[in-house]
Structure 1
Amino acid sequence: MANLMIVDDSKIIRQRLRAILEDLGHCIVSEAANGKEALENYKRMEKEIDLITLDIEMPGINGMEVIRLLREHNPSAAIVMISSVEDRSNVLKAIRLGAKHYFVKPFTETKIKEVIGRVLGFDTNPNRTEALRENPEANFRVQTARRMEDSAGGMLLKSENLESLPFELFHMDERTLLIIRSPITDTNAYLLYRCLQGLLYFRKMKFVLELWEPVRHREGARLLHEFIQDVRSRHGKAAVVTDDTRYYTEWLSDLGDDVYRAYKEIKW
C-alpha cells in the first residue's frame, strides 16, 4: 500500500498506530519520538516515505514547527496531524501550514482508515494492493488536494461561472436537490468533487440526486455512489431520480432502495 513514518513522543501511541496501519496493509519504514529525529529521518529517507503521521504536542521542536520545516524542505510532503481534544484549536493552523488532514486522540481504526485513505488517494482496504501512483484514476483525489495549494497566498473563495457547472443545487421541500444536468467529464469532475465534499459537512440531511442522463464518467459515478453511502452512514437520507430505465435498474441494484423514476415519487 504505502510507506509511512510515525512521529509521536509516546511509545504507546506509536505502537498502537503501527499495529493499526500495518493491519490496513501499510508499511512503517520509520518512527520518531521527537521533532528533531523526525526531520533527520525524513531527510535521510525522503524517497521511501509516502506519508507522515505527526503529533502536534512534542517536547523540543513541536509539531507545528516540524510541519513548517518539512514543507520548506519538500512542499509536497504528505502530513497527517494527530491532536488531542484540547489541541483541536491548533488543527486549522496546522492545515494552513500544509498538513493534509488530521485525526483526534483517542483515535479508532475506522477513523485512521478514512483519513489515510483520503490523503493517499486510494482505498485502505488491505486486500487492495494497487498503488496510487500506478493508477491514474485513483490519483484523482491527490490531484484535487494539490489544486488547493496553487495560490501562494492561501485558499480563496470565489463563485464559479454557473453556466460552466455540470450541476445545479436547490433547496426545496426540506431537501437539498442536486441536479446533474450535463455530462461529467475529466474537465468538470473536480467541480463535482468540491460540491459533494462540501455537502458532506451536513449531518442528518435529506439529499436528492436527479440525473438528467446516465453518469458514465467512472470517477464521477464513483463520487456519487460514495456520497450517497456516506450520507446514509451519517443517518441522513439520499435518493436518486432518473427516468432512464436501464440506469434506474443499475442504481436500484446497487442501493436497494430510494431510487425513483420521478421526483414526485419520493415519500419522505
Structure 2
Amino acid sequence: MRIVVLLKYVPDISSDRRFAEGRIVRDPAEGSLNELDENAVEAALRLVEAAPDAETSHVVAVTVAPETADIVLRKAFQMGVHRGIRVSDDALAGSDYFGTTAALAAAVRRLGEEEPVDLVVTGMAALDGLGSVVPALLADELGWPQLTLATSVALDGSTLTITRESDDVVETLSAPLPAVLSVSDAANSPRYPNFKLIMAARTKPVETWDAADLELDPADVGAAGARTATVEAAARPPRPETELVVDKGEGGTALADFLIRNDLV
C-alpha cells in the first residue's frame, strides 16, 4: 500500500499574523505544521501499519511551500513518514485553493508514475484559511471518489469505509481505492515521536520538485492563475482599555452601568 499525506505550513495561531502584498507573511520562526494535518499523518500511518503488506507499504508526505516549510516534513518524519517531497517554485507563489490543488494533483500523478498511489489523506482544514475545500477539489482533479471529515476509518481489501458525524446524524460511507480521504480532529490522537525517529528526521532527505517537474503551466497556478485575491487587509484593532472597579459594595451597580452604556443589555 502506498499513501500520500498532504501537509501545510501555517503561521502559528498565537503569533501576530499579518499580510504583505496581499499574502500571509510566513515567518519560519512563527510557523509550524498545520495541527489538523497531524491527524492525517496518524491516519495514514495506521492504515499502512495494518495493511497485509505492511513491510513494503509506505507513506509519502507532500507539501506545496517554500524552503522554510521543510520543518513540516521534518515533523512528519519524526512521526514515522517514510518520504517527504516539497513542491517549490516562484511560479507557485500566491496560489489560491485551485492553484494549490493543481500542484498537489500533479505531484500525486507523478508519484503514481513511479508506483500506484492507493490513497491521499488530508486534514479537515488548514488553520490559516479554514477553507476545507482542497480535499473535494483534489478528488475532482484526480477523478477519484472522496470520503471527507471522517471520524473513523477502516480498510477492507480495496474498499475504504468511514464514519462521519454531523449534528445528530452518523453516516457510514464507503468507496473503492484509489480515493481522497480527509479526517477530522476526532479521528485519532496523533502519536508522540520517539527518540530514534527524531534523530533520523534531522538528516532524512527532503526531495524538491518544481513546476517544470510537474509539467505545470505557470498561467494556471500562482498569482497569475488565481481565481481569488486579497482586496484589503488591516491590522487587528487594539483591545479597549480594561476598566477596573474597586468593589466597595458598588461593583454590581458599576457593572450594570457599563453594560447599559455599551448597549450590551
**TM-score interval for Structure 1 and Structure 2 normalised by the shorter chain:** under 0.3
Q: Whose relative contact order is higher, 1 or 2, with alpha carbons under 8 Å and at least 6 apart?
A: 2
Q: When the two structures are superposed, what TM-score results if normalisation uses the length of structure 1?
A: 0.24
Q: Larger strand proportion, structure 1 or 2?
A: 2
Name the larger-Rg structure: 2
Q: Larger helix proportion, structure 1 or 2?
A: 1
Q: When the two structures are superposed, what TM-score results if normalisation uses the length of structure 2?
A: 0.24
